[in-house]
């Protein structure tokens, strides 16, 4: 955030009731999307906007990507699919987790949502609907190539082909890479080889698209791209790889308001369980952010104000955390402190919490106000 934008932010939001903000750069989302689109050349990009667009707020992200010309989107749950299709009907919207309830499946089909078939039970439901309603539901087939999470077993393909040809309008054949962030992993090549066999099995189907590559799969060899890539996190500046990806820009910054500043004496405790005991007189500040807002209770790293670093002291609670500001006494109530996204990158923050950036962003609480800049 530039100084001008930060000044405007302080002016506009200083007196707001919200104690924590997630600043989301629409400009950088567009830049990341365009970069990934250029990276895959003629291959289509469909963006995953599941989990509230990885915590960024799916409505604004969805409308932004629509304006950029994205026509294919992926969500995880029926609720996400219905909310998305309400906003715009003329898109290719795929429901990744599929659905095992026949009545719900029919409702989704009527709305134009393409159900991803992940197993025989879901397949039988769609075939049953096709027979009863005399329709060919538009869908995707997810064939497992080694993830062993969701997906039809490779050995069942012949039966699937027979049913699909007769009863379904298959728009997409997909699988999912388990280790795409590890470029030299032999697992990637094993999955690729299997997916090519799947592609050959479906060679007689017309107008069929194939998709294997997720975000990091785009940076594997071109042969992983097929006709559709499915990035999610990298569009939003979230990286799973250990090294930063050139031209992928940071998108989010979490900041929290200083609610209180006070001195404590030597020997006094801070926070639940009295786990922190002051070894000297200290100046401490309380921030309006806690684990209900997405600040993991296990986090023990620093937070920042400008270039000044402050350690968290005491246990992080549901709504609050406390920091030691003894070495910088110019911090004031209503100042905004960076939790992550600036000096403290979200990758560093996630590593400090022994997790990944996707988990950090998707767990940012609903009371944290999303501000799009």
Annotated catalytic residues are 50, 272
In terms of Cα–Cα distance, which of 303, 219, 243 is closest to 36?
Answer: 219
In terms of Cα–Cα distance, which of 319, 267, 259 is closest to 286?
Answer: 259
Q: Answer yes or no: are the C-beta atoms of 185 and 214 closer than 8 Å.
A: no
Q: Can you tell me the distance from the alpha carbon of 221 to that of 188, in angstroms, rounded to the nearest whole number?
A: 10
Q: Which residues pair with 169 in a beta bridge?
A: 138
Backbone phi, psi, residue 51, to 5°: 55, 50
In terms of Cα–Cα distance, which of 301, 287, 286, 288 is closest to 350?
Answer: 301
Q: Answer yes or no: are the C-beta atoms of 348 and 360 closer than 8 Å.
A: no
SS3 (DSSP) at 18: coil
SS3 (DSSP) at 364: coil
Q: Answer yes or no: are the C-beta atoms of 283 and 263 closer than 8 Å.
A: yes
Contact residues for 338 (Cβ-Cβ < 8 A; gap 6+) = 253, 254, 255, 303, 304, 305, 344
């Amino acid at each position: 955030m530039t100084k001008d934008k930060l000044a405007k932010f302080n002016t506009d939001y200083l007196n707001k009731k919200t104690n924590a903000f997630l600043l989301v750069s629409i400009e950088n989302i567009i830049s990341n999307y365009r970069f990934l689109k250029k990276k895959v050349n003629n291959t289509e990009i469909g963006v995953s906007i599941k989990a509230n667009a990885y915590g960024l707020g799916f409505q604004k992200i969805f409308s932004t990507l629509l304006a950029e010309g994205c026509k294919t989107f992926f969500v995880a749950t029926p609720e996400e699919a219905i909310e998305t299709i309400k906003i715009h009907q003329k898109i290719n919207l795929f429901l990744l987790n599929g659905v095992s309830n026949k009545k719900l499946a029919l409702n989704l089909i009527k709305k134009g949502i393409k159900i991803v078939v992940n197993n025989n039970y879901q397949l039988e439901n769609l075939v049953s609907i096709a027979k009863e309603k005399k329709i060919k539901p538009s869908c995707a087939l997810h064939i497992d190539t080694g993830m062993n999470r969701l997906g039809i077993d490779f050995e069942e393909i012949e039966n699937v082909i027979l049913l699909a040809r007769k009863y379904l309008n298959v728009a997409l054949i997909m699988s999912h890479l388990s280790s795409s962030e590890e470029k030299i992993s032999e697992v990637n090549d094993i999955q690729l080889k299997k997916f090519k066999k799947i592609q050959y099995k479906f060679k007689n189907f017309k107008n069929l698209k194939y998709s294997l590559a997720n975000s990091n799969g785009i940076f594997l060899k071109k042969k992983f791209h097929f006709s559709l890539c499915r990035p999610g996190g990298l569009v939003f500046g979230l990286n799973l790889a250990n090294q930063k990806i050139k031209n992928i820009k940071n998108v989010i910054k979490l900041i929290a308001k200083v609610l209180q500043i006070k001195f404590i004496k030597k020997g006094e405790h801070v926070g639940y369980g009295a786990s922190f005991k002051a070894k000297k007189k200290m100046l401490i500040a309380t921030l309006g952010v806690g684990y209900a807002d997405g600040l993991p209770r296990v986090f023990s790293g620093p937070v920042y104000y400008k270039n000044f670093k402050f350690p968290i002291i005491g246990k992080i609670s549901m709504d609050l955390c406390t920091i030691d500001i003894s070495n910088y006494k110019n911090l004031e109530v209503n100042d905004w402190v960076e939790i992550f996204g600036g000096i403290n990158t979200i990758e560093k923050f996630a590593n400090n919490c022994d997790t990944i950036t996707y988990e950090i962003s998707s767990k940012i609480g609903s009371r944290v106000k999303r501000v799009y800049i």
